[in-house]
Chains A and B, each alone.
Chain A
Amino acid sequence: MSEAELISDLPRLEELSAQWDALAVTNAAPESGPAWMIGWWRHVAPQDALLRVVAVHDRGELIGIAPLYVDLGQSRLRRCHRLLASDFSGYVTPLALPDRAWEVAEAVARALMATEPRPSALELGPLPSPSPWVAALRERWPGRIRPIAYRTNLLEVPTVSLYQESFDVWLKSLNSHFRSNCRRYRRRFEKEGGTERISTPATVTADIQTFTRLHTARWERLGGSRLVALGERLPLLLGDLAQALLPEERFRLLILEINGEPISADLCLTAGGEIIGVNIGWDERFKHLSAPRLSMLSMIEQGFRHGDHRVSLGWGRVDYKHTFANGSNAAAWDVLLPAGSQLPLALARAAPTAANRRMLQSAKRLLPAEEVDRLRGLRKRISQVRA
Chain B
Amino acid sequence: MSETEIIEDLTRLEELEGAWDDLAVANAEPTSGPAWMLGWWRHAAPPDARLRVVTVHDHGELIGIVPLCVEPTDPHRYVLLAHNFTSSVTPLARADRTWEVAEVAARALRQAQPRLRSIALAPLLASSPWVAALPDVWPARIRPLVLRHSVVDAPTISLRHDSLDDWLSNRGSSFRANARKRRKQFERAGGTARTSTHETITADIQKFIALHASRWRPLGESRLVALGERLPHLLGELAQALLPTERFRLLLLELDGEPVGAQLTLAGGGELVGVNTGWDERFKHFSPARLALLYALEDSIARNEHRYSLGREASHRLGRGTSSYKLGFADGNDPVAESVLLPRDPRLAGTLFTSDVVRRQLRRSVRQALSDDEIDKAKRLLKRVRRSPK
Contacts and interface: CB of A to CB of B under 8 A. Distances in A.
B355 to A, nearest CB: 22
B158 A99 contact: yes
Nearest to A135: B126
Contacts of B136: 154, 330
**Residue with the highest number of chain B CB atoms closer than 10 Å, among A310, A330, A361:** A330
B368 A135 contact: no
Identify the interface centre among A135, A159, A161: most chain B CB within 10 Å of its CB.
A135
B95 A327 contact: yes
A163 interface: yes
Nearest to B330: A99
Contacts of A330: 99, 129, 132-133, 136
Given A328-B96, A329-B99, A98 B132 contact: no
B333 interface: yes
Nearest to A131: B127
A135 B151 contact: yes
Given A154-B136, A328-B97, A145 B369 contact: yes
A130 B307 contact: no
Nearest to A154: B136
A269 B337 CA distance: 34
A103 B141 contact: no
A132 B143 CA distance: 22
B330 to A, nearest CB: 9
A139 B338 CA distance: 13
A145 B337 CA distance: 19
A271 B368 CA distance: 38
A243 interface: no
Interface in B127-180: 127-129, 132-133, 136, 140-143, 148, 151, 153, 156, 158, 160
B332 to A, nearest CB: 3
Given A130-B127, A328-B100, A103 B333 contact: yes
Interface string B324-337: 00000001111101
Nearest to A358: B143
B290 interface: no
Nearest to B170: A59
A132 B127 contact: yes
B117 to A, nearest CB: 20
Contacts of B331: 99
Nearest to B371: A144
Nearest to B128: A130
Interface of A is mostly: mixed
The B interface is mostly helix, strand or loop, or mixed, namely loop
Contact of A365 (B94, B142, B369): B142
Contacts of A326: 96
Q: Which residue, A154, A163, A327, A361, has most C-beta atoms of chain B within 10 A? A: A327
A98 B307 contact: yes
A385 B334 CA distance: 50
Contacts of B10: none
A26 B153 CA distance: 22
Interface string B76-106: 0000000000000000001111011000000
A146 interface: yes
B107 to A, nearest CB: 14
B126 A136 contact: yes
Nearest to B129: A130
Contacts of A135: 126-127, 148, 151, 337
Interface string B318-356: 000000000000011111010000000000000000000
B112 interface: no
Contacts of A139: 126, 151, 335
Given A130-B127, A130-B128, A328-B97, A365 B141 contact: yes
B102 to A, nearest CB: 10
Contacts of B99: 156, 328-330
Contacts of B370: 144
Contacts of B141: 362, 365-366
A312 B141 CA distance: 30
B96 A327 contact: yes
Contacts of A328: 96-97, 99-100
A332 interface: yes
A99 B133 contact: no
B97 A327 contact: yes
Nearest to B139: A365
Contact of A102 (B128, B133, B140, B333): B333
A350 B336 CA distance: 30
A180 interface: no
A340 to B, nearest CB: 15
A280 B100 CA distance: 28
A161 B94 CA distance: 10
Interface in A82-124: 97-103
Interface of A: 97-103, 129-132, 135-136, 139, 144-146, 154, 156, 159, 161, 163, 310, 326-330, 332, 361-362, 365-366
10 contacts: A99-B307, A102-B153, A130-B129, A135-B148, A139-B335, A154-B136, A161-B96, A328-B100, A330-B99, A362-B141
